[in-house]
Amino acid sequence: MALRNIVKIDEEKCIGCEKCVSACAEGAIQMIDGKAKLVSEIYCDGLGACLDCCPVGAITIEQRNAAEFDEEATKKYLEQLARNKAAHQQQQATAKPMGGGCPGMKMINFAAAPTTDTPASGDVSSQLAQWPVQLKLVSPMAPYFAGADLMLVADCVPFAMGDFHSKLLKRKPIAVACPKLDDTGAYAQKIADIITTGKSKSVTVVHMEVPCCTGLLRIAEKAVALAGSDLKINDIAISLRGEILSQQ
């Protein structure tokens, strides 16, 4: 043990954005239960490369008695991390989706089920107010986001919910995304930019009932924190049959 500089992480402030994990070349910071944590003192060199990347100031450098930085142990640890990552990617690539996992991937034939709904007659007007709609493509500076009620929509929702336009959309500006299949790394910051630039009045997240789809809600929560906003997130869950299961 020796008196030296070492990273300190305030878990109360941490929003789980993972930027510090990417910034730490030694792998000393990892995500555990949604929070950034220093996994071992011997992997931290105390130089603070992770400081500037934290958007909420949750990381500081303190001087205290700690185990010395071990360069050789860190090298072996990084090699093990790389092997674990490769093994995980291989497992994901060969995993069979049917017979388990996400319930949204289970084969269901709704056409065989009876329905009591009355078919719509005549033209049904669209309530869409903008293009593009994909979160990857929208601009935070788009005029339709200014002072608006922002709606973040999981991309399966409009397919499942037949009256999505009339019941929920109603010409609100939207950003559509899939938290399971998209590369979501930049999504929280982009939503935060929409909130701050457009001065959003509210944020609503509409997602499917399946667990993976609630990831969109987690991304929205990170975005509100990144924006330094106190906006309450309206959470709407949709069943696989298109009913509103909960709205809060």
This prediction has a pTM of: 0.60
Indicate if the pLDDT at residue 239 is higher than 70: yes
Q: Is 83 helix (H, G, I), strand (E, B) or coil?
A: helix
Residue linked to tokens 């996400």: 102
Amino acid at 81: L
Amino acid at 49: A
Question: What pLDDT does residue 99 have?
Answer: 45
- Residue 37 neighbours by CB under 8 Å, 6+ apart: 9, 11, 29, 30, 31
In this prediction, residues 34-62 reach a mean pLDDT of 90
Return the CATH architecture of domain 2-94: 2-Layer Sandwich (3.30)
Neighbouring-strand partners of residue 31? 36
Note the Cα 29 to chain centre separation in Å. 19
CATH class of 127-247: alpha beta
pLDDT digits (tens, 9 = 90+) for 140-155: 999 999 999 999 999 9
Determine the Cα–Cα distance for residues 55 and 15; give it in Å rounded to an integer: 9
Question: What pLDDT does residue 118 have?
Answer: 58
Question: What pLDDT does residue 159 have?
Answer: 93
Q: Where are the domains of the chain?
A: 2-94, 127-247
